[in-house]
Structure 1
């Protein structure tokens, strides 16, 4: 791992620039691979947690996130696990089913 880190320190920026300009499709694949699979809304909106947002605010966040993912060529359908976790969080807060 140290050798990899050293190599990245020495050549990382130049390689990233080269891949970005010469192989943009691969560049986007790398970006998608290193970004977290899930984006927590709380991280982006720490001042107002999702369960305190209006439907319009949540819809705007969803729409904007979908556009950003589409622009990166990412398709991430919701899994059954994603839905189950969302339901569990809602029930923990005492929201109705």
Structure 2
């Protein structure tokens, strides 16, 4: 059984392209345009893998991950960015 993938990215084109790519290899993908939308749906979702954009308005991918951990959600997570640098890749 393959875990569903939840992609949280505010860029429509990136979200759609990555979703299409993952679906071509048989993955079940559900996209969210904002962290708030994902958090609002969380209680109805089965456990899965997260792909989080690091830079989003309101709640960044890293802040979303912190909020999820505080709620006891420790799903496998990949953080992506189109604007990464060395400082952003370091853990606190």
Q: Same fold (TM over 0.5)?
A: no
Structure number with the bigger relative contact order (C-alpha 8 A, sep ≥ 6) is 2
Q: How does the TM-score come out when normalised to structure 2? A: 0.24
Q: What TM-score, normalized by structure 1, do the two folds share?
A: 0.23
